[in-house]
Structure 1
Amino acid sequence: MNKVLISVAPVASTDKNIVPADIAAEVVSCWQAGAAMVHLHVRDAGGNLTADMSLLAETLRLIRKESDIIIEVSTGGVSGLTIQERCVPLYSELVEACSLNVGSTNLGKAVYCNPLDDVEYCIRELLKMNKTPEVEVFEIGHIFAMKEFMEQYNFCEPVLFSIVLGHKGEAPATPQALAAMIQMIPAGTLWGITHANRRDFSIIAAALGLGASTVRIGFEDSNYLDANTIADSNVPLVAKTVRLLQAMDKEPMSPAEARKHFNIFSR
């Protein structure tokens, strides 16, 4: 398969001005530039994680009105929300996929808490609502935990993992860490790359060379276009990812191709 899903996570955690029309317009521009999926969080007007879907619901309505991009919403993020509150996007008809976090880790000075009882609650609700999971793994132990969950629960195949590297306190964004994580990914599944605090595209290029099926890009992870240039929107980041794919004789997937490849329709 020489096609790759580009996912855009357009909203930085430091953004304190959440305006649905602005986010939706940015997402539509990223879709036009080659993104097949958008990754969003449930936030209030000040950018805080919340269980109130009001602003996100409006954002998703505007996105769907103008594009067929796959809509993925996170069930995670560092906050004081309960797992029940974190799972509210699972019940939206416009949400097709959700991130699934299967273990705790340090993220900078914060502790990202995902105790296994909470993980199982999220899995049960996700499967009940027929949402496609993207399993975010920050450490090798997270991959092993998900492998055990796959033996207990009937996930739709292929299960998609996202290898997350680069947060301070978790697996580093190095070729060695990337290779170790890839070796742990279960057979018969697919995987992609998210590089937090990215300053260049070298780890993304390495992951693509090793068979990544997805690449996540966007202000949630980094606004650096290269070591000396900060992008003023998410669109140049998507465009550069498309050029990187083309330089490697690959192509970005359309949303329709991605839905078929990752079996998002079979829900």
Structure 2
Amino acid sequence: MNKVMISVAPVAATDKRIVPDKIAEDVLNCWKAGAAMVHLHVRDTHGNLTTDMSLLEETLRLIRRDSDIIIEVSTGGVSNLSIKERCVPVYSNLVEACSLNVGSTNLGKAVYCNPIDDVEYCIRELLKMKKTPEVEVFEIGHIYAMKELMEQYDFCSPVLFSIVLGHKGEAPATPEALAAMIQMIPLGALWGITHANRRNFSIIAAALGMGASTVRIGFEDSNYLDVNTMVDTNLPLVEKTVRLLRAMDKEPMSPDEARQQFHISINR
């Protein structure tokens, strides 16, 4: 495969000022540079996870008005929200895809809880509303859990996994961990890479060389352009990812190409 979907996750979890116009402008610039998907959370003005979709809906309308970028919204994050509350973006007509977390996760000193009953509730709602899931896996057990869930539920093929490396307490961002997790991905599924707390692009390059179909980049994971340089918009991160792809004789997918590849469609 010589085309890769770039997903931009533009808002850091530590951001305490959520401004729809600013986020939308950043996302539109990233789309013009080669990003095919945007990954967002439902946040209030202070950056806290919430059930109030108003700010997010405003942001999504601005993004959709001026671009065809795929809109993905998370059903996760460390909070006190119930699984029903976390699933509020599933019912938005502007949302095409949602993250799916299939197991509990250590995130530093926090524990992101995903008991199996909650996981299955989220799956049922995603399938009912025809939202494409991106399965975020932080360790090998999550991949195995999803394999079992794929036997129980009628997921659209190919199922997309995102291998998440680099969180303290979970799989490290090393070639060995990446290789081990790739080996567990079910046949017929596709996978991509997310490198949390990233300081360089070495693991992203390794993943691309090993067949990643997607790369997530953006402030949610890191604002480092290289070990010595932090940036204040997401655009340079997307531009560097595009340069890396082309250096490896690959190209970024357009949003329509990504929709076709991953069967992302509100009306499928």
Deviations 1:62-84 (A, max 9, x none): 00001000000000000000000
Q: Distance in 2 between matches of 1:44 and 1:157?
A: 34
Query: 1:20-169 counterparts in 2 under 5 A?
Result: 20-169=20-169
Report the residue type matching 1:239 in the other structure: E
The separation in 2 between residues aligned to 1:239 and 1:253, in whole angstroms, is 14
Q: Secondary structure at the match of 2:25?
A: helix
Give the structure-2-normalised TM-score.
0.99
Q: Matched residues in 1 for 2:118 and 2:81: separation?
A: 12
How far 1:178 moved relative to its partner?
0.2
1:83-115 Cα offsets, whole Å, 9 max, x none, are 000000000000000000000011000001000
Aligned-pair identity in percent equals 83
1:224 maps to: 224
Deviations along 1:130-180, one digit per CA (max 9) or x if unpaired, are 000000000100000000000000000000000000000000000000000
RMSD of aligned residue pairs (Cα, Å): 0.6
Distance (Å, rounded) in 1 between the aligned partners of 2:52 and 2:149:
29
Give how far 1:231 is off: 1.1
Instruction: Report the count of equivalent residues.
Output: 267
Cα deviation, residue 14, structure 1: 0.4
Provide the rounded CA distance (Å) in 2 between the counterparts of 1:122 and 1:253: 28
Deviation of 1:33 (Å):
0.8
**Structure 1: which 4+ aligned runs deviate by more than 4 Å?**
none
Other structure's SS at 1:48 match = coil
Name the counterpart of 1:196: 196
Say whether residues 1:234 and 2:237 are aligned partners.
no
1:232 to partner: Cα distance: 1.6
**TM-score computed with the length of structure 1 as normaliser:** 0.99
Task: Tell me whether 1:259 sits opposite 2:259 in the alignment.
Answer: yes
Letter of the 2:247 partner, please give it. Answer: A
How far apart are the structure 1 equivalents of 2:40 and 2:244?
Answer: 24
